[in-house]
Amino acid sequence: MSVLSGKKILLGITAGIAAYKTASLVRLFIKLDAEVKVIMTPASKDFITPLTLSTLSKNPVHSTFYDKEEENELWNNHVDLGLWADYFLIAPATANTLSNMANGTCNNLLLATYLSAKCPVYFAPAMDLDMYKHPSTKESLTKLQSFKNILIPATSGELASGLVGEGRMAEPQDIVSFIESDIISKLPLRGKKVLITAGPTYEAIDPVRFIGNHSSGKMGFSIANVAANLGAEVYLISGPSQQQIKHSFVHRIDVVSAEQMYTAAHKYFKDIDIAILAAAVADYKPKNIADQKIKKKDATLSMELEPTKDILASLGLIKKHQFLVGFALETNNEIENAKSKIKRKNLDAIVLNSLQDKGAGFATNTNKITFIDKDFEEKSFELKSKIEVAKDILDEILLKMI
């Protein structure tokens, strides 16, 4: 999954011949599961039609401050458009538009939206080589970058004039790759490796039966997804779960038993920067596993159990540079039990759930947590979706690691 997945991208198109390439650009963003809206300068419609772009983006294309529909005039709010976007890309950006942007000229909807935008703004120049080399253009480029706008450099190649040189707009795929790389380079977990455990473990009784619990893995998978979106390389060790994750930064390792999860966690832990153990690992397993299915003979069945290995405590014993976070699902004396676990297992923090809280616990789409660090500082959060909870957890970890 791309870092652009789920993002809102505003594409501004100006009146250059390279505007014909924006159809491919919109398609690429849509294929990456981004939402796209398009603003065109009036003159850019001579190079590509709004109908093409609205069809590809599945959104209306805006060009003027208002649209006429029969007797009604519909206002296109440039402020709303600017606030809507996660990223604003102006491509192609002509010499005229670059100059207007640099000097605050506001004579069309695109420029008004640019001046209102609060998100990162990327721009991809496109013009003939003499225009690109002109001192006024160079001054515009420098000025725009001083405003924290991000230049996607023009390339060399054959130009519309027939000349060959610098000024050609970067190709659509290269523009998308540039934006992805730029976003990733600025993510707070870029270069970090994160280990996450998720889901239940199943401890075999015989070939068809097991001891397990109701954990769905939703919380752990949500943390994995958010960590990957923050730039981390994620190792997700999952017990049996129906949850799915598609992200190029996530390596999924499937296990069944507590023993298998223990082995996998220790395999990766030494190279990890952050470990978040969200799995609901079985505390006990059958001491003897039957080779054949146990037949129902008596009214009762007795079974001897033995403890499973404590994965969290074992990692606490060997941790060096790692930031180790555990989970505690409690039903009584919640805060005291969680703090005790921090000390006993040498944790940097713990995430506390209480089964007393409605909407928290297993197999729900929501959770309510208290984050407690090793100094016993507590921060409680309201009931939220598990994705939002995952963001809160990682925000707290990042604050503690600074």
Stretch 339-356: mean pLDDT: 91
Two tokens, residue 227: 């960590």
CA 166, 169, 174, 176 torsion-angle sign: positive
Q: Is residue 213 annotated as a catalytic residue, yes or no?
A: yes
**Distance of alpha carbon 358 from alpha carbon 11, whole angstroms:** 43
**Under CATH, what is the fold of the domain 193-286+304-401?**
Rossmann fold (3.40.50)
Residue 70 scores a pLDDT above 60: no
pLDDT averaged over every residue in the chain: 91
Q: What is the DSSP string of 139-155?
A: HHHHHHHHTT-EE---E
Residue 128 scores a pLDDT above 80: yes
Residue 285 scores a pLDDT above 60: yes
Closest alpha carbon to 229 in 278, 184, 175: 184
Residue span(s) of the chain under CATH 3.40.50.1950 come to: 8-185
Closest alpha carbon to 311 in 350, 277, 273, 353: 277
Stretch 250-277: mean pLDDT: 97
Residue 357 scores a pLDDT above 80: no
Confidence (pLDDT) at 35: 96
CA angle 252, 256, 258 (to 5 degrees): 105
Confidence (pLDDT) at 3: 85
Architecture of the domain defined by 8-185? 3-Layer(aba) Sandwich (3.40)
Which long-range contacts link 377-386 to residues 24+ away (Cβ below 8 Å)? 378/335, 383/357, 383/358, 383/359, 386/218, 386/219, 386/222
Two tokens, residue 33: 């599961």
Stretch 202-227: mean pLDDT: 93
Confidence (pLDDT) at 73: 55
Confidence (pLDDT) at 69: 58
Residue 369 scores a pLDDT above 90: yes
Catalytic: which of 213, 229, 337, 346? 213
Residue span(s) of the chain under CATH 3.40.50.10300 come to: 193-286+304-401
Q: Kindly report the pTM of this predicted structure.
A: 0.81
Torsion (CA) 205, 211, 216, 221 in degrees, nearest 10: -70
Confidence (pLDDT) at 294: 86
Residue 11 scores a pLDDT above 80: yes
Two tokens, residue 315: 């990692």
CA angle 301, 302, 303 (to 5 degrees): 120
User: Of 27-41, 106-120, 234-248, 298-312, where does mean pLDDT reach its minimum?
Assistant: 298-312
Residue 348 scores a pLDDT above 70: yes
Confidence (pLDDT) at 6: 87
Say if strands 378-380 and 369-373 run parallel, antiparallel, or are unpaired.
antiparallel
Confidence (pLDDT) at 167: 84
